Structure 1
Amino acid sequence: MKRRSGPAPEFRKAVVLAALSLVACVHAFAQRAPSLPLHCTDLAGAVLPPASIGLPTNGALVQTAAMIPATATGNLNGDFCRLTGVIRAQSAGTPDIRFEVNLPSRWNGRALQFGGGGYSGVVVTGTGPMPFSPDRAPLARGYATFGDDSGHNGTSSEANFGLLEEAVTNFGYAHLKKAHDVALALIERGYGRPPEHMYFAGGSTGGREGYTAIQRYPDDYDGVIANSPALNFSGVRLIGVVVGQHEYRTPGGYLPPRLLEQVYERVMQVCDTLDGAADAIISDVQSCRAKEPEIIESLRCPARASPDEPQRADDDCLTPPQLATLESLDDGLRLPYALAWNADSYLGYNVFEGTRFTSMLGLAHSAQRLPQLAFVPNGYLYAQGDAYLRYFITHDPTFDSTNFDVMHPGRYRERLFALSATIGAMNPDVSRYIARGGKLITLQGLADEVISPNQTIAYYQALVDRYGEARVDSFMRLYMVPGYQHGNGVFIPSVDLLGALDDWVTNGNAPETLFVTDIAQATNGRTRPLCRYPAFPRYLGKGNLNHATSFTCAMP
């Protein structure tokens, strides 16, 4: 029988080459593909020496390492490796920095550091969703995530750690670098390679931390989301003290919530429709500010027949001391001395442009000053300012803030300056971050009652003055949201900022006008364009008021 001849040598060679090529492709894909962190539980007890962390510490320890299955109760993030541990402090009595790092089984090659809030004090786990984001949590989207407690234990309102210098330094900036370096080392151990991109995201204190990251550690981050940033930290605390002194030291300076609400309603009557829409949102803040004298005059009590004539409890107008309280917020703080980076002011709030100071984070709800100030009775700004003076500035827990002279702090001036350098994040030099291609997105409410939106705008304008608009546009986007306060408001935005940031960093697609969904309970589901500052949403004059397509971004 005649034997059948085999494949031609050329064909056999082609098959071999194809097979080798396929093996190479599979190998390359395996190298790039997301993979389960190897031996998660083996990371328990891992020790990182001080030399592996970019700032002085006594090293770090992973205390627990556990695989969290996708089927675990309440877990919406898929399978991930949860690592918790401590970064050891150097000074006796200073708390360690507690941290958490999460390594998803299907990793997208990126890492995200979460910022804190208030005075922090609790570990930011990194397992939850991004603020404002309608999408899944970053961990569920494949990001390796991490956070920490900023170097002390407590609640976001407790400031007593201000008595400990290393804890203050950690809170101001050092915890960011220490947690970053520890997380980076653990990510490399878990996956066998570093992340392709490192991001940071936070709001309020976390927003300040975001700006701190790009000012102090520009080489560590490719993109930052820094919302409602507490930039001039000493400034916002000092203006809180001034407002509290108007309320409680000046006779008649306290405004009950009903009068604060009356101010808000009057502003709405005058300014709501300046953007063309009667929607309980003041979008054209600049036009509203032009009407401020008219608004104030309409709220002022008529002159009394006698200076000694008392104010009636049912009066629906504002006396001179009450107006002075509001104007101290509206005018802001002008200091006769400079803090770090020549910051000598804290710009005022949009008191007569739609900010509602009856909120939980607003002004005092009680006419009596409590021995230990509390947020709702005595006002968030004053309570936080009082604690800052007692623990951070004077180191005297019994100090009486009503007698502190903000304009002439005397022997405390040097301390104010030092703290503003440690915590302030007002350094305008971000040239290194710009040069290496870092990106920054900031979102803030125009009706913010905690962090003045005008202070954030002023820092942005300082960058424009320093670098020019084109260069700032190359790395930064600022979005000011009408009607949004500090976590609440008549409009609460929901938008995927992390997706926009990642697309900008990875693909070079700079975000322009975004579209946001309102998640405020009363108006849930309506949409608006999110305009780049200084533009604002203006109604086109026709179409559904609840649809973003009925609005355009207009310049003031």
Structure 2
Amino acid sequence: MRTRVSRALATAVSAMLGLSAAEALGAPKDAPKDAPLAMRCVEFAGAVLPPELIAMPTAGVQIESAAMVGATVPGNQQGGEYCRITGRIKGLNASTPDIRFDLNLPRRWNGRALQIGGGGYNGVVVSGTGVIPFSPDRAPLAQGYATFGDDSGHVGDSSLAIFGLVDDAVTNFGYAHLKKTHDAALALIARAYGRPPHRMYFAGGSTGGREGYTVMQRFPDDYDGVIANSPALNFSGVRLLGVELGQAEYATRGGYLPPPLLEHVYQHTLAVCDRLDGAEDGIISDVAACRQHEADIIASLRCAGHTPSHDECLTDAQLSTLLVMRDGLSLPYRLAWNVSGYRGYNVFQGTHLTGTLGLGHQPGRQPVPTFFANGYLFAQGDGYVRYFVARDPSFDSLGFDPQHPGKYRAQLVALSQTIGAMNTDLTRYIARGGKLITLQGLADEVVSPHQTIAYYEALIDRFGIDQVNAFMRLYMVPGFQHGSGVFIPSVDLLGALDNWVTRGVSPETLSATDIAAATNGRSRPLCRYPLFPRYAGKGNLNLASSFVCAEP
């Protein structure tokens, strides 16, 4: 499978920069062979790309800057010279924020391109110049990839949902920015190198993971391979669960759990379950076996017959808060793609809830909830209901009922169609030979691992295990949370994906190096789901070779 520039795209490129259609399709203009990219790079500065370059409606593209970045320039750690282009994709309506994007074109190009996803509510341009989790040893740009990313069509940090008041900005955030930026970058790459990339990949995590599934579902002809880690597939579901969790913490008397109590819950669970995988290493790897002890764990944590101190046991109200997160969301109506809720978390199987992305650190709800004060899930859910659903900055999410949303139900369903990525129809992507790698933490406190597993199982129900195995790999990582945890894997997923796409070498068990500060350097096997790493009974606990991938 190869990414190709269409005849219409070639014609548009030629009109923009004075090329013949043949040149736009692959034949470069005459230029000194020792500096073709440098000469082409400066041509882009100030250029305007016509709307015809992009398959979705826009008012064209304005290139703001284009300049070569020297290999010896301070701050350039890519190991070589590259052309850096920045631009804006204009909306049809003046009120629509621009989609800002960056594109990096290495002098030593490997013929491949990589689009990189964002995080949270986006709002910050993905530069594409640095080392990224799915290619930890060397930045993709340093490996010769043309890299690009964008801000999804609004400005602000990843916690800000204010853009939800603007319809076109919501559509861009949901899916349109991906196609618009892809098409703009593809045209520029074809012009810069005289030909389109042989392979086009996408990689991202969290919101970027959702974006990875989105491009397979909506734009299957554009990509040869996708890395989609910790994917926020069911975006509306997780936001509504966040609201219910916040209500349990802050609208229910005694529902708040202080960090010392959350730490007590985690340590008690670790004491019960750490050794179930054969190794006392601070990682709960056999999550299924740990779940068999859950009733006893909860019973031993529950306060009984005395007035508790704040960090000794859980009251019924505090336990109910954790059960909201464990049980997930169940709705009496359907969102897009027949979604009826959101899967719960491994609360009593090693998920640590005291970090910045965990539950709240303050007993009172802030007027505008923040990650640290009131918890990530509630803060993000509050913003979603306030700006996307109610479209009212003064709306109080503690009074919103996700079970019976009343007049907001139609808006919720529409949003789940625009932003969610729960469609299992990957028929076209699979037929074209597209590949997919997903890595997900079993201790993730932001994206439920069970939601990721549920989507994978839905693919098997639809296509059968053999066809899913032919195009997808799912790695569930014990101890890994949402970018943190007691085990933070470092593994070259981009290399694995490229080998699969270009050489047909399908990845199996991978080896990951731990980059958590306290245990940096130890390794573990990354096992294909549903397998997990079990200690073999002998050997160094810090080496992946001492573990085997076992059935739960």
Task: Write out per-residue CA displacement over residues 494-515 of structure 1, whole angstroms, 9 at most, x where no aligned residue.
Answer: 0000000000000000000000
Please state how far the C-alpha of 1:451 moved relative to its aligned partner: 0.4
Q: Which residue of 2 aligns with 1:469?
A: 465
Q: Which residue of 2 aligns with 1:16?
A: none
Q: Which residue of 2 aligns with 1:143?
A: 145
Q: Which residue of 1 aligns with 2:475?
A: 479
Q: Which residue of 2 aligns with 1:63?
A: 64
The amino acid across from 1:302 in the alignment is: A
Q: Which residue of 1 aligns with 2:334?
A: 338
Q: Which residue of 2 aligns with 1:46?
A: 47
Please state how far the C-alpha of 1:452 moved relative to its aligned partner: 0.3
Task: Give the Cα separation in 2 of the matches to 1:221 and 1:33.
Answer: 31
2:510 pairs, out of 506, 514, 531, with 514
Task: Give the Cα separation in 2 of the matches to 1:367 and 1:39.
Answer: 58
Task: Write out per-residue CA displacement over residues 437-462 of structure 1, whole angstroms, 9 at most, x where no aligned residue.
Answer: 00000001100000001000000000
Please state how far the C-alpha of 1:34 moved relative to its aligned partner: 11
Please state how far the C-alpha of 1:129 moved relative to its aligned partner: 1.3
Q: Which residue of 2 aligns with 1:442?
A: 438
Question: Percent identity among equivalent residues?
Answer: 68
Aligned partners of 1:127 and 1:137 also within 8 Å: yes
Task: Write out per-residue CA displacement over residues 431-489 of structure 1, whole angstroms, 9 at most, x where no aligned residue.
Answer: 00000000000001100000001000000000001000000000000001100000100
Task: Write out per-residue CA displacement over residues 70-89 of structure 1, whole angstroms, 9 at most, x where no aligned residue.
Answer: 00101012100000010001
1:238 aligns with 2:240: yes
Task: Write out per-residue CA displacement over residues 22-79 of structure 1, whole angstroms, 9 at most, x where no aligned residue.
Answer: xxxxx9xx9x999635421111122211111010000111111000000010101210
Task: Write out per-residue CA displacement over residues 286-309 of structure 1, whole angstroms, 9 at most, x where no aligned residue.
Answer: 1111111011001011045xxxxx
Q: Which residue of 1 aligns with 2:398?
A: 402
Aligned partners of 2:261 and 2:312 also within 8 Å: yes
TM-score by length of 2: 0.93
Task: Give the Cα separation in 1 of the matches to 2:467 and 2:35.
Answer: 35
Task: Give the Cα separation in 1 of the matches to 2:93 and 2:235.
Answer: 25
Q: Which residue of 1 aligns with 2:371?
A: 375
Structure number, greater radius of gyration: 1
Q: Which residue of 2 aligns with 1:264?
A: 266
1:203 pairs, out of 197, 202, 205, with 205
Aligned partners of 2:260 and 2:310 also within 8 Å: no
Please give the secondary structure, in 2, of the residue aligned with 1:92.
coil
Please give the secondary structure, in 1, of the residue aligned with 2:200.
strand
TM-score by length of 1: 0.92
Aligned partners of 1:37 and 1:190 also within 8 Å: no
Distance change in 2, residues 1:315/1:120 (3 Å): closer
Q: Which residue of 1 aligns with 2:4?
A: none
Q: Which residue of 2 aligns with 1:10?
A: none
Distance change in 2, residues 1:386/1:156 (3 Å): same
2:100 pairs, out of 98, 101, 116, with 98
- The gaps in structure 2 that reach 5 residues or longer are 1-27
Aligned partners of 2:291 and 2:348 also within 8 Å: yes
The amino acid across from 1:116 in the alignment is: G
1:546 pairs, out of 542, 546, 549, with 542
Please give the secondary structure, in 2, of the residue aligned with 1:316.
coil
Aligned partners of 1:527 and 1:548 also within 8 Å: yes
The amino acid across from 1:472 in the alignment is: V
Aligned partners of 2:134 and 2:494 also within 8 Å: no
- The gaps in structure 1 that reach 5 residues or longer are 1-26, 305-310
The amino acid across from 2:337 in the alignment is: W
Aligned partners of 1:491 and 1:520 also within 8 Å: yes
**Pairing of 1:359-438 with structure 2 (within 5 A):** 359-438=355-434
**Pairing of 1:308-347 with structure 2 (within 5 A):** 311-314=307-310, 316-347=312-343
Please state how far the C-alpha of 1:314 moved relative to its aligned partner: 4.0
Task: Write out per-residue CA displacement over residues 215-271 of structure 1, whole angstroms, 9 at most, x where no aligned residue.
Answer: 000000000000000000000000000010001111010000011011101110111
Please state how far the C-alpha of 1:315 moved relative to its aligned partner: 5.4
Task: Give the Cα separation in 1 of the matches to 2:146 and 2:513.
Answer: 27
The amino acid across from 2:399 in the alignment is: N
Task: Give the Cα separation in 2 of the matches to 1:62 and 1:250.
Answer: 52
Please give the secondary structure, in 2, of the residue aligned with 1:471.
helix
Q: Which residue of 1 aligns with 2:16?
A: none
Task: Give the Cα separation in 2 of the matches to 1:380 and 1:193.
Answer: 44
Q: CA RMSD in A?
A: 1.5
Q: How many residues align?
A: 521
Please give the secondary structure, in 2, of the residue aligned with 1:474.
helix
Q: Which residue of 1 aligns with 2:284?
A: 282
The amino acid across from 2:40 in the alignment is: H
Task: Give the Cα separation in 1 of the matches to 2:342 and 2:389.
Answer: 18
1:167 aligns with 2:163: no
Task: Give the Cα separation in 1 of the matches to 2:541 and 2:134.
Answer: 21
Further displaced range: 128-137 or 219-228: 128-137
Please give the secondary structure, in 2, of the residue aligned with 1:64.
strand
